[in-house]
Amino acid sequence: MECLKDFALSVFASAICTAVWTFVLYQLRPKLNIEDLYVTDGKIKVKVVNNGRSKAVNLQMEVCTVKKGEADNITKHFSLDKEDFLILPPNENRIFKADLDGKIEDKIKDKDTSVRVRVYSTHSYSGFGKAEEEEFFQYNAQTGKFKKK
């Protein structure tokens, strides 16, 4: 009986330690925020901010137009200046640029078309990754900015 109590206590202690360690590592994951999307000089510019406590590494970015269809959504991707970026330190930002290949008004002329931005990154120590996604719509030609959905 004593052996069973020791076994149960050790399993309980191990479970608590594992839960605490997992929670700590989970808190370290990147916390990226896609703050702004605007058009200048024939390029779409996306501002990404790292609001986390540690570096976000291996950032990957995707910018595309999404036309909501009856059956499937139709996407058209923009070519980026850098599709991936090595490190984004905490409390800093990076502006990604995408080529337009024409006017933005031609790309989003329908009401059901929006611009989707996705960013994926990992934590430098734990390797935990996180993906962020924002959709922007209603382009204002005077300011060059979009509204978030």
Task: Round to whole Å and give the CA distance between 33 and 93.
Answer: 9
Please tell me the predicted confidence (pLDDT) of residue 83.
63
Q: What are the beta bridge partners of residue 105?
A: none
- The DSSP code for 90 is T
Integer Cα distance of 13 and 6 in angstroms: 10
Find the DSSP H helices in 1-132.
Answer: 2-27, 104-107
**Residue 130: exposed, middle, or buried by beta-carbon count in 10 A (0-12, 13-18, 19+)?**
middle
Q: What string of pLDDT tens digits covers the 149 residues of the chain?
A: 788 888 888 999 999 999 998 888 777 778 889 988 888 887 888 899 988 888 888 888 888 888 877 567 778 888 877 766 788 888 888 888 888 777 777 777 777 788 889 989 888 777 788 889 998 888 877 888 888 87
The tokens for 36 are: 């702004």
